[in-house]
Structures are given as structure tokens and as C-alpha cells.
Structure 1
Amino acid sequence: MLTEALLLGFLTFLLFLVRRRPPGLPPGIWGLPVVGWLPSTSVCLSDQVMKLRKVYGDIIMWRTGSITNVFLCKYDTIKSALQRLELSDRPAFFTYSVFSEGGAIGLIFCNGLQWQRNRRFTLRQLRNLGMGKTELEGAVQEEARQLVQDFKKHTGKDQPLPLSIGVAVLNIIWTMVAGTRHDMDDPKAHDFIRLIHTTNEHQQGPVYLLNIFPWLITLAPKFLKKILGYYALKNDLKSIQELMREFIKQHKATLDPSHPRDLVDNYLIELQQQSKDSPQDGNLSVEDSKV
């Protein structure tokens, strides 16, 4: 009898800890133990947040699974928050960390000072390559002309938008990043666009549950991970990383430090200079250049 009473008391204490709301949080929904309060799949998330705004105000807390979310619903508050370095970090989501193989690297997935340095370097190089300048207009107009010519091949019948629209966008970015462009009907470019679309679909599918229940990554059996799309997403990202490694390998083989062609060249040159000046304290890495 004493054992059962102690066990009941211990379970009650655990339930209290799970349900207890930490101090200092804004008003909002705490929800049930473990699961929190999951959003409806039949109503747009922004509409659900706007409904909560009427009850809780412009700063709302909403716990989903293991994640405590805070929504900002006022322009001045959002602007002030985005200017603060301590609020600039990315969420520790599986669908983010899997891109960078668990690390905080690259321009998109790093945080803090590393993000500031990578962002500053990348923006400086992209501006030097024409981003935000009138000289890029010629490239945009040429891609638009090529796109119109490709669209003429698809007239006369109902069909989805051709992949060439993605190739046109890719070419504008890829000319600055990797110094190359693709024809509108290039099979390799089409395969890459399909891979990006598939990856986005997998990211927004059931695998999102691993973001709000991260303990499932460790505890879930293989068949459940397969159902959630864990392995499919990892395979997609492996394919993307292999393509990036090949681009970097090609750039290394043809690199001329006195005549950089694109962002990847400038990145590799900066890495070489960094290794000479301060090999132990460098901010950039080859892994950064992949993401």
C-alpha cells in the first residue's frame, strides 16, 4: 500500500512539473501535458493566431509539443525584436539542423556573431557581383526573354507551369553564386528544381512532428521514422549536398585568386587568406559554403 501511495505521489508530482507554466511568459495557451495545444490543420495558422490575438493581445504564447512559441502581432514590436541580436537565432528544429548536419553553419542555419559575419561577407560579395545594381537588369531581362520563348512551346493545351520558370529564377541566383546558367530545357536543371520541390514538400509533411516532439528522433522506431518522412528528407538533403560538393570541387580545381568569377570563388579565396592570417580563429569554412 505504501509503495502504491509513493508511486501515485511521484506521478502526481511529475504531472505538476509537466503542466506547470514557467514564470515570465506572455499570456496564451499552455495546453495539455506533453502535447501542448496542437494547431488545427483545417484553418490557416495565421487565422488561428489572429483569433488568439483578440483574447491575449499582441504578444501571444502558444505551446505545441515541446516547443514554446511566442507570436508577435504588432509591427513596432516585430521591428524592435528583429533588431535585437539575442532574438535573431534560428529555432532548434530538426528540419533546420538536418540541412547543416546538426551544426550551425552557412548563411541560413548559423546564429549569433557567426551569422552576422557570414551575412556581411555574403552581401558584400553579392553586391560586388551586381546584386541590387542596374547591371543585373540585363541578366534578368535575358532570362525573361528566354522564358517567354520556352512558354511558346507549351501553348495550346492545359498543363502545369513548366519547370523553366524555376530555371529562370535559378539562373539569376546561380550566375552570381556559381558563375553558370542553364538552358531552359536543361535536364540537370529540371532535376535540381524537382529535388528542391520534393525537399520542400517533405519538410512541410509529417516530419514536422519531429520539430515539436524532438525526443521522437531518439525514441521512435525505424518504421515510424519512415512513415514521418525522416529518411526521405535526409536522402533529399544528401543529394543536394553532393551537388554542392561537386560545384565546390570544380571551383577549387579552376580557381584563379586574381580573377574571382562568382560568390564561391570569393568564398574560397577568403578561406585561403583566413588560413594564412589566423588559422585557429577563422569564421568561414568549406561547410559554410555548401549551405
Structure 2
Amino acid sequence: MSFLGEVFTFTNVLLLLLLVLLLILWKRSQIPKDLPPGPKGIPLLGVVNINPQKMFEQFREFRKEYGDVFGFYIGRSYSVIINGEETIRDVFVKKGDLYSDRPDYILTTEFGGNQGILSNSGRSWKEQRTFALATLRDFGVGKRSLEGRILEEVEVFLDAVKEQGGQAFDVKPFIHVSVSNVLCSILFGKRFGHDDAMFLELVKLLNDCLTGAALISLIEYFPFLRYLPGDLMGLKMLKRNTAKLEAFYDKVIAEHKSKWMEGKKDDFIDCYLTEIHRRRNNSDSVFNEKELSRVLSDMFNAGTDTTATVIRWIIAYLINYPDVQTKLRREIYDNLGKDRLPSLDDRSNLPYTLAVINEVLRIGIPSFGVPHTAAQDTYINGYRIPKGCSMLLNIDSVNFDPKMFPNPDDFNPDRFIKEDGKFNDNLKILTFSVGRRVCLGESLARFEIFLFIASIVQKFELLQDGPLPPSTTPVLGITFSPKDFKFHAKLIDS
């Protein structure tokens, strides 16, 4: 064969291989007809034109085109988005047994595997969650008996705000420590001072982990990103910070073990150690110190960041809407006066305060929560849901549903007030999720948010720093948090 003939043959083979590759890529880009419909995306890459800051708006458009259940590929991962209150409740409440597991994520394995509560599934998750919920209730979570612990931190927080002397300051470190301390008193049996350098560093590490997690999550869709030089995705940083946080939990557990005796139940760790001891002869027990460390991490991380973030959002909105702040303060003065701090018993007399809180929870905290997955191949609305795929509960599709909340983009607390002036608790928002994976600490979070917000508004006028109020454009993270901001807290004369 001549040289030109060999070149021609080689070129034909390359073209044939290229054609086969294109056919494979085209085939992979086609979503099987029995899967939920959705945008097609680019072969190998999937749907890469989703803007994280605009994804909820984009998903609203997808929902109009494809319905309440749609899906798409991003990289190697297939995700199903569940929209609308009726469909969400049907999937995650009525059929919770099928859709309460967590996907087998790369990063889940990277950071401890299926342990604890947040990322766990199956029997281990059920037993850990059941134990945690029962123990938290024993320590007053969901009951008025917890009020004293919260009010203790409220008073310390108000003193810290007062010490700013009306100068502009960032409330973030103060509120994170105060909220953390409520949980610390339950989990660890102790609280930390606002000037405790070690604890302040831990809170900062936690914030850094949660803020950077959104970028790191791209590794799940495109695993090759973890091998990029340096630390462009922040994975090494997350590992360092996580290791420091775990060292803190392990140290606290070791301190408790050294003082523990059978029957000791002074705090959550004591109760868990007692449970480990009780099951010591059970070879199939899921209770051990590694699980305890992970449970502490899940509860502390979720219980601290979410509540503190909501309080910061409310402060930001009250500064943006001074008329709402004035109306809220007037309600407090009319029912409580200026001197006595609010209590949980006051909630029925402060409907507008509850309305403001719920409106911010509705409009300011967009989130999907932690993804679910199907325990087996199943069907929703006639579409096949593959076992192990990522399932996202689109809270935005309920909280911004114009049928439930007319003009949903408007900040309007009055939508939660009935004609008789009482709080409308029939309007349901899904900020804390639903079903078996509903937020474990929702009742604690709501108690804290109410007492902290009602108290700071009672004692201080919240004023913007500079020509512009705090931005209400969220920063992408595990949750959508407000951009860091400073404000003036002007003490109101008694």
C-alpha cells in the first residue's frame, strides 16, 4: 500500500472513531423517555448554563415548561427537581419511606461516610435521629422549659450590642456565638464567652466551611476537579477546617468520658455515652464514639448557622423597611412595654412579629436543603425515578407560589395577618423542609428567632450604615446568607 493510501486509511479510521464517539456522546445526552422531562444540556457536561444566583428563577421557568417534576444531568450526576406543595408532600410525606435516603456522594465518603444524621441513611440514620429527637425533647427543645436558656443568651447578646455604643458594627460574630451557646448548653453542658478566642475560631471555621461548600460541591458533578493543582476548589481548606472541628468534638467527648458514670445525663453527650454503655453487648449497635462525633457535628453545624443566618436576614430586612420595624416595635410596646423582655407566652399577642419572621423565612431563605434519593427505582407522576439519583425539594416553588402568596417577590408581612388581626398559621412555608427529613431543630430555631428579634427591636432602633441599606441579594453557600453588613443599633431610652 502506498504512503498516501496508508494516510487515507488512517484518516478514515480516525473519522470513524470520531463518528462513533459523537454518537456515544449524543446517546448519553439523550434523557430516556421514561425519565422526567427537562433541559437537554451539552454531552458530557450536561446543563451547565444554570446561574447559581439565578437558579430559582430558572427553575420557575423550567417548571412552567416541564411541570412539577423535571430532571437533568450536570456532569455525571442526574438530578430530579420536585416542585409544588401538593407534589412535594405526596413524595416526601406520604411516600417518605421511599425518598428519605441520602445520595451516595463523593464528598460524603470523603468526609466520614454515612454517619450521624444529616448524611446518613437506613437503620443507622433512623436510630440516630430517633435518639437525638427524644434526647433534645428531654432537655426542653420544643417546650417552654427551654426559654430560660435562650433568654440568658439574649441578655448577654443585648449587652454586647449595647457595648457598641451606637457605632456601626457587624452583628454576625455576636449572634453566632449567642445562638451557638444555646445549643452548647444542651450538647456540651457549658457555654462560651463572647471573648473566648478558641470558640470564636471554631465558629469562624464553621462559617468558612459552610460558605465554601457550594464551590466544592462541583466536584460531585465533575470529579476530575479534585485533581486540579493547588486548591482551586477549596477542598484542602475544607479538610483542614473539618479536621479542626472534629478535634474539638473529640476533645469534648474525651473530657465527658473521663467524668462519666453510669446513669449520668447532664447533657446530650452524657446521654449518648449512656446509650453506648447500655448497648455495649449488642454487636449490631450503631451507637459508638465516631457516630457521636458526627451527630454532634451535624447538630451543632445546622443548629448554629441556620438560626443565626435567619436572624441576620431579619435585621437586614428591618433596616431596609423601617416602616415594618416601626410597626413591629409599636406592637411590642403596646403589649409588653419597654422594660420586660419578651417571653414565649407573648407570641399569641405579637402576631405582626410572627408575621415578619415568617415573611423573612419565606422570601429571604431560598434553599433546596440536603438532597434526597430514591431507595429503589420508582415512579412519580408517571416518570421513572432511578435509584440513587439526587432528588431536590424545591422550597422556592412553594414559598414563591403566587397562588398561595400573591406578588411573591414583594416583602409583605401583612400577608400573614388574618382579617381579625391574628397571625395566619394556615399559610405554610417549607423553609424547614417536610417529611421525615424535616429540620430536627425547627422548634428550637423558631423559639430563638422570636426571642432574639423581639428583644433587639424592643431595645434598639436598627439603622443603616452609610447611604445604602444592607443588600438583600443572597450569598451562595449551603444556605443563602446575606452579604456581610454593618449597622447602627441606637439604644432606645426606657
| Offset of residue 97 of structure 1 | 3.8
In the alignment, what sits opposite 1:85?
97
In the alignment, what sits opposite 2:202?
192
C-alpha distance in structure 1 between counterparts of 2:213 and 2:172, whole Å: 23
In the alignment, what sits opposite 1:213?
222
Matches within 5 A, 1:98-109: 98-100=110-112, 103-109=113-119
C-alpha distance in structure 2 between counterparts of 1:42 and 1:262, whole Å: 40
Tell whether the 8 Å contact from 1:164 to 1:184 is kept in structure 2 after alignment.
yes
Tell whether the 8 Å contact from 2:264 to 2:274 is kept in structure 1 after alignment.
no
| Offset of residue 7 of structure 1 | 2.2
Letter in 2 for 1:132: G
Q: 1:130 aligns with which of 133, 140, 146?
A: 140
Q: Does 1:242 align with 2:254?
A: no
In the alignment, what sits opposite 2:58?
48
In the alignment, what sits opposite 1:113?
123
C-alpha distance in structure 1 between counterparts of 2:53 and 2:242, whole Å: 30
Tell whether the 8 Å contact from 1:65 to 1:213 is kept in structure 2 after alignment.
yes
Tell whether the 8 Å contact from 1:244 to 1:290 is kept in structure 2 after alignment.
yes
**After TM superposition, where is structure 1 displaced by more than 6 Å over at least 4 residues in a row?**
none
Question: What do residues 109-159 of structure 1 show as CA deviations (whole Å, max 9, x unaligned)?
Answer: 101222111100110111111111111001111110111011111133222
Letter in 1 for 2:186: M
Q: 2:150 aligns with which of 129, 140, 144?
A: 140
C-alpha distance in structure 2 between counterparts of 1:15 and 1:41, whole Å: 24
Tell whether the 8 Å contact from 2:225 to 2:233 is kept in structure 1 after alignment.
no
Describe the shift of the 1:286–1:152 C-alpha distance in structure 2 as closer, same or farther (beyond 3 A): same
Describe the shift of the 1:107–1:43 C-alpha distance in structure 2 as closer, same or farther (beyond 3 A): closer
Question: What do residues 200-226 of structure 1 show as CA deviations (whole Å, max 9, x unaligned)?
Answer: 122123x22202113444xx2433xx1
Secondary structure of the equivalent of 2:249? helix
Secondary structure of the equivalent of 1:63? strand
In the alignment, what sits opposite 1:181?
191
C-alpha distance in structure 1 between counterparts of 2:36 and 2:127, whole Å: 32
Describe the shift of the 1:42–1:138 C-alpha distance in structure 2 as closer, same or farther (beyond 3 A): closer
In the alignment, what sits opposite 1:267?
272
Describe the shift of the 1:99–1:153 C-alpha distance in structure 2 as closer, same or farther (beyond 3 A): farther
| Offset of residue 71 of structure 1 | 1.1
Q: Does 1:288 align with 2:288?
A: no
Greater Cα offset, 47-56 or 76-85: 76-85
| Offset of residue 45 of structure 1 | 1.5
Tell whether the 8 Å contact from 2:26 to 2:43 is kept in structure 1 after alignment.
no
Letter in 2 for 1:285: N
C-alpha distance in structure 1 between counterparts of 2:273 and 2:164, whole Å: 41
C-alpha distance in structure 2 between counterparts of 1:162 and 1:216, whole Å: 32
Q: Does 1:18 align with 2:18?
A: no
Question: What do residues 243-271 of structure 1 show as CA deviations (whole Å, max 9, x unaligned)?
Answer: 11111111111112222111111111111
| Offset of residue 30 of structure 1 | 2.6
Structure 2: 5+ residue runs without aligned partners? 1-8, 295-494
In the alignment, what sits opposite 2:430?
none
Secondary structure of the equivalent of 2:98? helix
Letter in 1 for 2:146: L
C-alpha distance in structure 2 between counterparts of 1:213 and 1:164, whole Å: 38
Q: 1:229 aligns with which of 221, 227, 234?
A: 234
| Offset of residue 32 of structure 1 | 0.8
Describe the shift of the 1:112–1:22 C-alpha distance in structure 2 as closer, same or farther (beyond 3 A): farther
Letter in 1 for 2:197: P
Describe the shift of the 1:13–1:285 C-alpha distance in structure 2 as closer, same or farther (beyond 3 A): farther
| Offset of residue 77 of structure 1 | 1.2
Tell whether the 8 Å contact from 1:26 to 1:60 is kept in structure 2 after alignment.
yes
Tell whether the 8 Å contact from 1:174 to 1:180 is kept in structure 2 after alignment.
yes
Describe the shift of the 1:247–1:6 C-alpha distance in structure 2 as closer, same or farther (beyond 3 A): same
C-alpha distance in structure 2 between counterparts of 1:215 and 1:89, whole Å: 26
* Cα root mean square deviation, aligned: 1.9
Letter in 1 for 2:100: S
- Higher Cα Rg: structure 1 or 2? 2
Describe the shift of the 1:23–1:269 C-alpha distance in structure 2 as closer, same or farther (beyond 3 A): farther
- State percent identity of aligned pairs: 26
Bigger relative contact order, structure 1 or 2 (CA pairs below 8 A, ≥6 apart): 2
In the alignment, what sits opposite 1:33?
43
Letter in 2 for 1:209: L
C-alpha distance in structure 1 between counterparts of 2:37 and 2:117, whole Å: 33
Question: What do residues 173-195 of structure 1 show as CA deviations (whole Å, max 9, x unaligned)?
Answer: 11111111112222222111111
In the alignment, what sits opposite 1:72?
82
Query: What TM-score does the superposition give when structure 1 sets the normalisation length?
Result: 0.90
C-alpha distance in structure 2 between counterparts of 1:172 and 1:39, whole Å: 42
C-alpha distance in structure 2 between counterparts of 1:75 and 1:119, whole Å: 25
Greater Cα offset, 77-86 or 232-241: 77-86
